[in-house]
Structure 1
């Protein structure tokens, strides 16, 4: 029902399968991730197909759900009151994502200051205490772990993400001023930069001198940077959909809420990377002699 047929400013959504299917997709993805890393349901570690099925389901739900939301906006269901609610929802979603990454940073810092005795045999450095016994803390990164030089590829990736933040802002401002050509160009650059970042991250992983299951440092490093990389991929897809909509004549200077949310999300991803670069790459390399 078009909104001009009702007498209130709220959108009463029709029954939708996407919330239930989205929950199922997330569960399958989580179980697939555990299976791939540790083994589950009789499947050996390294079994990838369940994770692939979960990710495919997530992508399918994303496209299906977003298509419905875009359709609702096109027929006038997204009134100013509804848009306020959507903005609050996006803000709360990003806030939950902040706490998600706070958990990974917390674990990284917790491992960095753990007492050697509590770490036990999980670190080679557990027995590498000073003769006077004054230092009770394990080395971080563990002895023998060769970390990445943050001023090579990680620095390049940092510059790429910072540049992508400027191009998405350019695209957003261009659309606000009805410069559709500028908005398209800015989005093209942003999507390409996001893809380049992901490829460089994969290249970096393939040349890592440590593994996911070798030390606590490796586990903390790959989980924190890996989840960030997943968010970059999601953000790139988000922006690519905005670009496709622009190319198809969608969105305008007055109505581009999806693009606004994509820009917020991309800036959040940028900020998370700056913290990762500083505390996961630079600090262990400089302070702890990685």
Structure 2
């Protein structure tokens, strides 16, 4: 929502849009390329990169249309309420998304592992050890070391917690009409997110080169890279959203009364923070 939002008595319904299908096509190419990349296909990195660029281009166009509609005074209170409900349900769907992966990790550790290691299965798998992380199946998974909480995961936890503080500071500055503090808070939040991703990339390089920890390293490697990788993707998307909000702030958009675009991005960022706290405890500590 922008500073020019009109209290329109009608409910604005935009015309047919190509953005959902074109964005889905970009994500399809990105996902297919990533799957092929993991399986060693030579064409896959190019498809993944092209799909990602396609998706980002669609996002730019989609954001531009929504901003133009907002600045044109087409959004009223009913639209504002719809945006809030939509963002809430979207974040709920993301909660379920991560719950599926946390559930897979819980099932592997608390149910499958004890079951495979009990006396009834000793005849079938006499050499199986019901310990976590599990290195089986023998002869298939190479030896690897696990990723501990020190120092990078703990540093990243501090970075995300600080980013939540700076974003809250920016929100209070927006409500108080202090635009300079708003810009500073948003800029610091984006910077902290970028540093977080830099450490995440370094952690992956350390895992591959020093620990021999890969996506193919059994159930531990699969769950580790799926959880941390998808979280990193969400951090990247959240940083993009905040960057768009920052650009709009620099252009004079938003008022203390009308600023849902900021709030929606802030909700998403705080959700990403909370997911990381669960991930930090479950994946790195337990």
- TM class, shorter-length: 0.7 to 0.9
Report how far residue 276 of structure 1 moved.
0.3
Q: 5+ residue gaps in structure 2?
A: 118-124, 136-142
Q: Deviations over 1:67-111 (max 9, x none)?
A: 111111111111011100011000010000000000111111222
Aligned to 1:138: 130
Q: 5+ residue gaps in structure 1?
A: 120-125, 130-136, 284-290
Measured on the aligned residues, the alpha-carbon RMSD in Å equals 2.2
Structure 2 vs 1, CA of residues 218 and 3 (structure 1 numbering), >3 Å: closer, same or farther? closer
Which deviates further from its counterpart, 13-22 or 165-174? 13-22
Aligned to 1:286: none
Q: Deviations over 1:223-255 (max 9, x none)?
A: 110000000011111111111111122222222
Aligned to 1:31: 32
TM superposition score normalised by structure 1: 0.85
Q: Deviations over 1:166-217 (max 9, x none)?
A: 0001001100111100100000100000000000000011001111112211
Q: Deviations over 1:242-273 (max 9, x none)?
A: 11111122222222111111100000000000
Structure 2 vs 1, CA of residues 275 and 163 (structure 1 numbering), >3 Å: closer, same or farther? same
Please give the residue correspondences for 1:1-290 in structure 2 after superposition, counting only pairs within 5 Å.
8-38=9-39, 44=41, 47-113=44-110, 114-115=112-113, 127-128=126-127, 138-143=130-135, 144-208=143-207, 209=211, 210-283=213-286
- Please list every run of at least 4 consecutive aligned residues from structure 1 whose deviation after the TM superposition is greater than 6 angstroms: none
**Aligned counterparts of 2:42 and 2:36: Cα–Cα separation in 1:** 6
TM superposition score normalised by structure 2: 0.86
**Aligned counterparts of 2:18 and 2:33: Cα–Cα separation in 1:** 22
**Aligned counterparts of 2:275 and 2:8: Cα–Cα separation in 1:** 43
CA contact (8 A) 2:144 2:217 kept: no
**Aligned counterparts of 1:60 and 1:127: Cα–Cα separation in 2:** 54
